[in-house]
Amino acid sequence: MGENMMFLYVRPTSLADNLINLEYLIGGVQVKGIFNRLQCLLVLVGLIFGLWGQSLSVQAQDVAFDITRLNIDGQITAEGKVQMNLVYDYDVSFMNGALFEVDYGESRIGNYQAGIIDSKTEEFVPFEQNYTATAETFSVNDNGSSLEFRLYYPAEDEQVRFAISYTLDGLVTNYLDTAEYYQMLVSPVASDGYSVSARIELPGAIEETNRFRTWAYGSPRGQIYPRIEGEQAYIEVDVPQLDPGEFVEVRSLFPESLTPNNTKFVESEHFQEVVEVEQAQVEADQAKYQEHNQHRSVAIGLMALLGVFTLFWAYRFYFQEKKRQNPHPVHVPEHLYHLPDDLTPAVMASAVLRSEANADDLVATILDLARKGFIELKEVEREEQGRLSRGETKTILLSKRSDAPAEETLMNHERYALQYLFADQREEISLESLEAELKASSTFAKYQEQLWSRFKDYAAIRGQMVRGGLNEGRRKSKVWAWLAFVGTIIFGVIAIALVQTLSLKDLQTERIVMIVTIVVWCLAILATILLIYLAYQRPIVSEQEDKMRKEWHAFARMLEDIGQFDMREVASLALWEVYLVYAVSLGVADKVLEEMRAVYAVEELETLTLPGDFYTHPYLITHVMRQSVHESVQATQPPPVVKNNGFSGSNTGGFGGGFSSGGGGASGGSSAGGF
């Protein structure tokens, strides 16, 4: 079986390749007596330099192309010869030509031609055979068992259809009871494959259809059928895609009367022997196919079950734990008109709104310290004007009050806030100066960053205590959510990889299975993302924490909707100054300030602890103060470190169906490439 192979491939040209052509050329030159040795030498040197220059020009640009399709038309003659006509479709970025190799083994090859198919007329345009290496010519090199076609056709950014034809003698064998055709149509492909369609016509009609059988080997997705249309019988082969390492090999039995002039004859019966051997191979392939797919299907099922189980368990834990910790959720009115609890703004924010305090909570703490009489706030002109002032003309001057209460009455995070504002025992400082010093001195910024971290950490600890301590169920729900997400990703990737190994001979079915697997995987990922969202945005809370959260959110809604109520009836003016501090952390300070300015007279606002300007000009809090504190906090953070990673069917009885395993021993195969 291994004596009749054919290959076609393409490789970049080189000086050595051109010297081979030179050898053929010189072999065809008859040096007559009128040329002396000097003239021959000059001709030879000129040819060498010309070929060398051509080689350099060819290598100046990388060869790039894709072979998308191979169409094969073959005709078996009454003499048992096979006329082969091959058309390769190339999608070319750049190439100088195509290289094809036909491994004919012990058969005989002849009557070859090469050229292209005209894109407009669809007619065959033959090339001239010579060894000049000029455009639209071809050369052949026969090494005794394979024939190499080299077609010279420079192309760039276009589609080209190369065509070669030849006759093979020795692929058909006549026996006493049948004739056998056995040929490797396409040799194993080395890289990305292409689709293959073939039609091999027999020399006449077949009346006894039971004596016309076909088998094929190589690609698991290939199909082969014996066809009879009127007076014409032929073999039909279709391979949607050849993957690397796959080949196409065909075997067929038909009445020996169709090739009466075939000289390759074996005086023995052969039909039943081949049918039994091939049937045994088909049955073995079926068993192997079923076993292979069964194992893969079980593995895919296990991966799916593991993914589903992990996801189900994570959801189950979340809802059961949520129900256990808070079996009877408390009902809270839409609006709450009093403070739910006596907490500082930073502790409230850490307990209810977020995992740790932010710059808004520091602003709220500063206002709260002013309200409690520890510091005094005053609007002053900025010293720096222009681009660095962000278009502002005002800043806030902060001063320690001489009549301030004892700092021991403050909570730790409030004392850290005072230290953050009045570093180095200062008595006063403007927010503009604090921001400028932080940006100018990395040492000072590092010291302030420690105070800022302590402020956040202590507020977070107090917030956790207010919530009732560490909620182990909430922590586990987040862990399970992320385990479900990671598990779904891993199990999905494994399942898709297993689906790719399934030997589904129907390419359409294979695609459907793959699409269904990917869709199910994506749905599972979406389900895990939803679970992560629930774990973080709708976390598991105790009955105590649930009540606290709902009350503070109801209080925040009241502040946001304060325009719908009579502010004077909701609370006294002094209480509204307290509420304003919490409104900063709750993100609704602008609504409260706007309503206070509309409801209360200037004289009334000036009786409050905070300066009247802060109420008549709300932007001092909502913009000037807030922006400056945010900038100062940002200035305490170390610069980010940028890292560069440095790399961005079965064929029972031969009556048609899928390819069988084995094979690879026939001759006549072709392979293709370019240079």
User: Two tokens at 313?
Assistant: 């368990």
pLDDT at 19: 39
Q: Which residue has the higher pLDDT, 154 or 55?
A: 154
Q: Where are the alpha helices (DSSP H) in 339-379?
A: 345-348, 359-371
Per-residue pLDDT tens digits for 423-439:
878 899 998 899 899 88
pLDDT at 370: 92
pLDDT at 504: 57
CATH at 214: 2.60.40
Establish if 407 belongs to a structural domain: yes
Regarding whether 75 and 170 lie in a shared domain, the answer is yes
pLDDT at 43: 47
User: Whole-angstrom Cα distance, residue 285 to residue 649?
Assistant: 10
pLDDT at 470: 73
User: Whole-angstrom Cα distance, residue 228 to residue 199?
Assistant: 12
Cα 309 from chain centre:
26
User: Whole-angstrom Cα distance, residue 321 to residue 316?
Assistant: 8
Lowest mean pLDDT among 5-14, 248-257, 293-302, 531-540: 5-14
| pLDDT confidence bin for 502, thresholds 50/70/90 | low
- Residue 435 CB neighbour total at 10 angstroms: 22
Establish if 653 belongs to a structural domain: no
Per-residue pLDDT tens digits for 464-478:
888 877 778 888 888
Angle CA(500)–CA(506)–CA(507) in degrees, nearest 5? 55
Regarding whether 627 and 518 lie in a shared domain, the answer is no
The residues that bridge with 291 in the sheet, in sequence order, are: none
Establish if 440 belongs to a structural domain: yes
User: Whole-angstrom Cα distance, residue 213 to residue 651?
Assistant: 10
Residue 413 has φ and ψ, to the nearest 5°, of: -65, -30
pLDDT at 198: 94
DSSP-based three-state secondary structure for 394 = strand
User: Whole-angstrom Cα distance, residue 248 to residue 576?
Assistant: 86
Q: How many residues in total does the chain contain? A: 675
Per-residue pLDDT tens digits for 58-75:
445 789 998 989 999 999
Establish if 3 belongs to a structural domain: no
What share of the chain has pLDDT > 90, as a percent? 41
Compute the average pLDDT of residues 355-366. 92
pLDDT at 646: 32
User: Whole-angstrom Cα distance, residue 360 to residue 366?
Assistant: 10
Per-residue pLDDT tens digits for 543-571:
888 898 999 999 999 999 998 989 999 99
Q: What is the mean pLDDT of the chain?
A: 82
Which residue is it, tokens 């099922």?
301
pLDDT at 669: 64
Regarding whether 35 and 124 lie in a shared domain, the answer is yes
Compute the average pLDDT of residues 154-172. 94
Q: Which residues of 446-460 are buried (b: 16+ CB within 10 A; e: fewer)?
A: ebbbebbebbbbbbb
Per-residue pLDDT tens digits for 100-131:
999 888 899 999 999 999 989 999 999 999 99
Statement: residue 529 has pLDDT above 90: yes
| pLDDT confidence bin for 506, thresholds 50/70/90 | low
Regarding whether 574 and 525 lie in a shared domain, the answer is no
User: Whole-angstrom Cα distance, residue 514 to residue 296?
Assistant: 13
Name the DSSP class of 567.
H
Establish if 248 belongs to a structural domain: yes
What share of the chain has pLDDT > 70, as a percent? 81
pLDDT at 219: 78
Establish if 241 belongs to a structural domain: yes
Regarding whether 485 and 448 lie in a shared domain, the answer is no
Four-point Cα dihedral 303, 306, 311, 312, nearest 10? 130
pLDDT at 280: 79
Per-residue pLDDT tens digits for 384-398:
654 444 556 789 999
User: Whole-angstrom Cα distance, residue 216 to residue 201?
Assistant: 16
Regarding whether 412 and 395 lie in a shared domain, the answer is yes
Regarding whether 195 and 145 lie in a shared domain, the answer is yes
Count: domains in the chain: 3
Cα 493 from chain centre:
12
Statement: residue 79 has pLDDT above 50: yes
Name the DSSP class of 542.
-
Cβ atoms of 273 and 450 within 8 Å: the answer is no
Q: Which residue has the higher pLDDT, 316 or 55?
A: 316
Residue 54 has φ and ψ, to the nearest 5°, of: -65, -40
Statement: residue 641 has pLDDT above 60: no
Statement: residue 50 has pLDDT above 60: no
Regarding whether 448 and 494 lie in a shared domain, the answer is no
Cβ atoms of 378 and 396 within 8 Å: the answer is yes
Establish if 579 belongs to a structural domain: yes
Statement: residue 20 has pLDDT above 80: no
pLDDT at 289: 58
Q: What is the 3-state secondary structure (H, E, C) of 213-260?
A: EEEEEECCCCEEEEEEECCEEEEEEEECCCCCCCCEEEEEEECHHHCC
| pLDDT confidence bin for 674, thresholds 50/70/90 | low
Lowest mean pLDDT among 21-35, 131-145, 658-672: 21-35
Q: Which residue type, as a one-letter code, is found at position 283?
A: E
Q: Which residues of 372-392 are buried (b: 16+ CB within 10 A; e: fewer)?
A: bebbbbeeeebeeeeeeeeeb
Q: Pick the last residue of a domain from 537, 563, 582.
A: 537
Regarding whether 231 and 306 lie in a shared domain, the answer is no
Domain that holds residue 250: 15-269
* CB within 8 Å of 588: residues ≥ 6 apart: 556, 559, 560
- Residue 658 CB neighbour total at 10 angstroms: 22
Establish if 406 belongs to a structural domain: yes
Regarding whether 234 and 356 lie in a shared domain, the answer is no
Q: Pick the last residue of a domain from 485, 509, 537.
A: 537
Regarding whether 240 and 100 lie in a shared domain, the answer is yes
pLDDT at 393: 79
User: Whole-angstrom Cα distance, residue 611 to residue 596?
Assistant: 14
Residue 97 has φ and ψ, to the nearest 5°, of: 165, 180
SS3 content of the chain, % helix, strand, coil (to 5): 45, 25, 30
Regarding whether 40 and 126 lie in a shared domain, the answer is yes
